[in-house]
Chains A and B, each alone.
Chain A
């Protein structure tokens, strides 16, 4: 069964500092050492996945404690997508690194160095390549 972060967060274990991540070319890196280029190059190798730019348009409090609703404008068509996530959930911002709605909580729970996610930040997200 997939393990999760220590008490206080139900985020997956791969966001905990020190977790080992395998890039598409087989290289292993710690989650806290990942760079924008690692995601871009991995997506280029992938036959199924492509990276989209997702710009943060709004961040609102959720009715659920410790959750936030983040609205993104996704891809070249600027499709509006909202996700409800724990405030400590880290998104990877292009050229910047891990960012969350509550970076203090992310650092406390996951030990993952993190900055504050803000409106206008451009996050890395994935979509499926068109398979024809």
Chain B
């Protein structure tokens, strides 16, 4: 018997780097 394997699904924002400067306001 082969157990079904779930395919990982990644959220879109995982792919984008956070380049957040310190916010000033």
Could you list which residues of chain A lie within 8 angstroms of chain B, going by C-beta atoms?
3, 12-15, 19-24, 28, 31, 34, 38-39, 42, 46, 49, 51-52, 54, 72, 74-75, 77, 79-81, 83, 91-92, 123-128, 130
Contact = CB atoms under 8 A, between A and B. Distances in A.
A127 B17 CA distance: 9
B12 A20 contact: no
A23 B10 contact: no
Contacts, number: 78
Nearest to A24: B12
A74 B18 CA distance: 10
Given A74-B21, A77-B21, A79-B21, A28 B16 contact: no
Interface of B: 7-23, 25
A31 B19 CA distance: 21
B18 A126 contact: yes
Contacts of B13: 42, 46, 49, 126
Nearest to B19: A125
A23 B20 contact: no
Contacts of B17: 83, 91, 123, 125-126
Contacts of A38: 12
Contact of A127 (B9, B11, B20): B20
Given A20-B9, A92-B15, A127-B20, 5 more contacts: A19-B10, A39-B12, A54-B19, A75-B21, A81-B21
